[in-house]
Amino acid sequence: MELSSEELLNKLNEKIMFGEELMLQLKPVQSIDGVMKLHRKIHQEILFLKKLQKSKKIKMEQLSCSNLTHLGAMVECVTRPGVIAVCKIFHIDDSSKLVIDIISDEGKSWTKVIARNPKSLSALSAGKASYGARSILDQADDYLECAKLYPCMYQPPKVIFEFMSGIEEILANKLKAVGVIVKGEILPDSSQSEICDESYDSESSDEESINNSQKTTLEEVSHCMEDHPEINTLNLDVTAMMAYVSNMTNGHYNYVFKQDVLTQQCAWEAERPVKPVLEKLFEEKTLVCCETAWGDFEKIVNTLGGAMEKRRTAELKTMVKIYPDDFGGVDDYPRSNLKVRGHVRLRSKIIFNFGHRMKALTVSANEGYVRAALQQGVTYAAFIHESRALTEGKEPTATKLTL
């Protein structure tokens, strides 16, 4: 039954109000990576609907093709606890990319949100669609392939497909068989195979880069060894080795230096000693580093270090296995293509990628690199500690405090 112009206008007004309500719901979570992109998508839909409203020439097909139903489902998911990113772009290779709807559980879960009609999904997966249309099974393959390229703590993220309108049982079982976790109401299989979408969940082909305003906490990018006993190898960054041998961390923190940054680190060391943390971390673990890390560390010690710091460096060398930078083969696609810019320096890329190939936990004070890499979609298994500089050479010109 065809709707009258007045009924169509009422439906249009309801959709506009729905879209505006969605934008309000995003305000409390606007700091989450990618939420502002989702906000823009909703805003664009509203602008399109308002143009229809002004024209007064409304057709039912125009209302049906609105993407607000899918966007509403996205908003419902992103406002749940534990979400760290939305609409996140990952590259599969130089020419292919994938947009992950929702990333949660500290990066361990990837969720695709589907609001399409269940009958439509089944029909499309059975091949009853126009040539080139991608089924939900095709999209599952994409997610699973991409997840293998971007492991979190050396495990591919769990792939979850959440069906907001439900999914028919046969299709749900096919997804489970390939390794997808299915969420949503499981419905009886329908004999109807025609495609009659009431809503359309668009595969984003947006070339616009996501405006990353990462608010990820330190705990979400740094994983304590106690939580991951399966990792027995530690990859030492230059900053970790400096903190380990520094006079400051070995009892000589009672100084006021001419350099404010060193005095500040002494105050931190008095409150939060770093060496005991590192020693506890090193217990019963294999310590490794690459030639670039050891070479740069040794140069710094030889230039700035004092006698005791040099002695500790010699002792540390007996504890650490030093490997060539390229040990373990070539980097995977995401890490080899990590762009060197800003906090992503070449030396850090070499060191962290070496740790990844060794399946090690990289111990570092370089939180900036981990965060910058995360903004490019690359995660590392890392333990982040506070930075400590070499100080023995500066002690003769510093003021010693009485403990």
Mean pLDDT by 10 residues, the chain (403 residues): 76 91 95 95 90 78 76 94 95 87 96 90 67 72 92 94 93 91 90 38 31 28 49 94 96 92 91 89 94 96 95 97 94 92 91 96 91 87 91 94 78
Residues 135 and 264 reside in one and the same domain: no
Residue 195 lies in a domain: no
What's the pLDDT score for residue 116? Answer: 87
Residue 303 lies in a domain: yes
CATH of the domain at 231: 3.40.50.1010
Question: Cβ contacts of residue 95 below 8 Å, gap of 6+?
Answer: none
In the listed set 139, 169, 187, which residue is the last one of a domain according to the structure? Answer: 187
Residue 206 lies in a domain: no
Element containing residue 35 per DSSP (H, E): helix 35-55
* pTM (predicted TM-score): 0.65
Residue 86's SS3 state is strand
Residues 72 and 177 reside in one and the same domain: yes
Residue 343 lies in a domain: yes
Q: How many domains does the chain have?
A: 2
Residue 117 lies in a domain: yes
Cα separation, 97 vs 203, whole angstroms: 11
Ramachandran assignment for 179, one of left (phi > 0), alpha (psi -120 to 50 degrees), beta (any other): left
**CB 85: neighbour CB atoms within 10 A?**
23
Residue 213 lies in a domain: no
Ramachandran assignment for 151, one of left (phi > 0), alpha (psi -120 to 50 degrees), beta (any other): beta
Residues 68 and 160 reside in one and the same domain: yes
Say if CB 114 and CB 162 are below 8 A apart.
yes
Q: How far is CA 287 from CA 74, 91, 224, 360, 367, in A?
A: 44, 32, 16, 9, 20
Residues 228 and 164 reside in one and the same domain: no
Range of the domain at 11: 5-187
Partners of 288 in beta bridges: 235, 321
Residues 248 and 109 reside in one and the same domain: no
In the listed set 187, 210, 243, which residue is the last one of a domain according to the structure? Answer: 187
In the 8-state DSSP scheme, what is residue 134?
Answer: P
Cα separation, 30 vs 89, whole angstroms: 18
What's the pLDDT score for residue 201? Answer: 36
Q: How many CA atoms lie within 13 A of 77 on its CB side?
A: 31
Residues 91 and 161 reside in one and the same domain: yes
Among the listed residues 47, 45, 156, the one whose alpha carbon sits nearest the alpha carbon of residue 100: 156
What's the pLDDT score for residue 217? Answer: 29
Residue 167 lies in a domain: yes
Cα separation, 373 vs 387, whole angstroms: 19
Ramachandran assignment for 126, one of left (phi > 0), alpha (psi -120 to 50 degrees), beta (any other): alpha
Cα separation, 178 vs 175, whole angstroms: 5
Q: How far is CA 313 from CA 242, 352, 360, in A?
A: 9, 21, 22
Residues 237 and 96 reside in one and the same domain: no
Residues 353 and 251 reside in one and the same domain: yes
Residue 340 buriedness (CB in 10 A; 0-12 / 13-18 / 19+): exposed
Residue 40 lies in a domain: yes
Among the listed residues 214, 224, 251, the one whose alpha carbon sits nearest the alpha carbon of residue 343: 214
Residues 31 and 145 reside in one and the same domain: yes
Residues 318 and 372 reside in one and the same domain: yes
What's the pLDDT score for residue 190? Answer: 73
Residues 88 and 150 reside in one and the same domain: yes
Residues 180 and 57 reside in one and the same domain: yes
What's the pLDDT score for residue 135? Answer: 81
